[in-house]
Homo-oligomer: A and B are copies of this chain.
């Protein structure tokens, strides 16, 4: 039997029986216990069952598998996320916009962090839902297909009733002339509303977004509380921004 078919049967058996042992599966599927142990290890990693001593138990299955490997400039985003985490404290109310840098931040939050996080992005919410102690609140509204976020007056109105301690904005365009800019008009409106509803705003920008001007204004240079990039603060590329008064990490 093919590995894939066998693993399917492993998952089915665990769904039916709630708990199975490696030796039971080994006999049932006619392969060695070591093969079953490897299967269980791999399926646990994929979130399809939970490995326990001697076998596996049923789990809330993760229907979606997070293709993190293919995120463009993944290492840079990990670096930015780690810098951003230093600003997060227990008890905070946080707003998060969308994008893959924020997704990485959501993934890397400390597993004991107790905070409330508002977001309008489906992938961010999916990721935050896996966090054991963060309370995730999704801002409802019409889903914009390409960006997987909600937009519209419902979102902006909802945001006007919140005051967040901290807000993380994923950045698409960042330039000296224009400050933070973005691509979609409706997303720009929502990001502006997020910014207005927060005490402190943090802009997450990979270096390839620097010196890029897009079509819609989000925030001027002077209004930036903190900006985080993957570059070292002493990097010459950042010097004009530092000289212009931007608080950079």
Contacts and interface: CB of A to CB of B under 8 A. Distances in A.
Interface in A128-145: 128-130, 132, 135-143, 145
Contact of A8 (B46, B70, B125, B147): B70
A143 B123 contact: no
Given A67-B63, A69-B8, A126-B126, A141 B140 contact: yes
B72 A62 contact: no
Contacts of A132: 145
Quick one: copies of this chain in the complex?
2
Contacts of A66: 63-65
A29 to B, nearest CB: 16
Interface string A49-61: 0000000000011
A11 B148 CA distance: 20
A15 interface: yes
B158 A140 contact: yes
What is the size category of the interface that chain A forms with chain B?
Answer: 35 or more
Give the residue among A48, A129, A130 with the most B Cβ atoms within 10 A. Answer: A129
A67 B65 contact: yes
A219 interface: no
Contacts of A135: 142
A12 interface: yes
Interface string A98-139: 001001000000000000000000110110111010011111
A70 to B, nearest CB: 5
A153 interface: no
B129 A145 contact: yes
Contacts of A122: 122, 125-126, 129, 138
Nearest to A118: B140
Nearest to A43: B70
A11 B65 CA distance: 18
Nearest to A123: B63
Contacts of A46: 67
A146 interface: yes
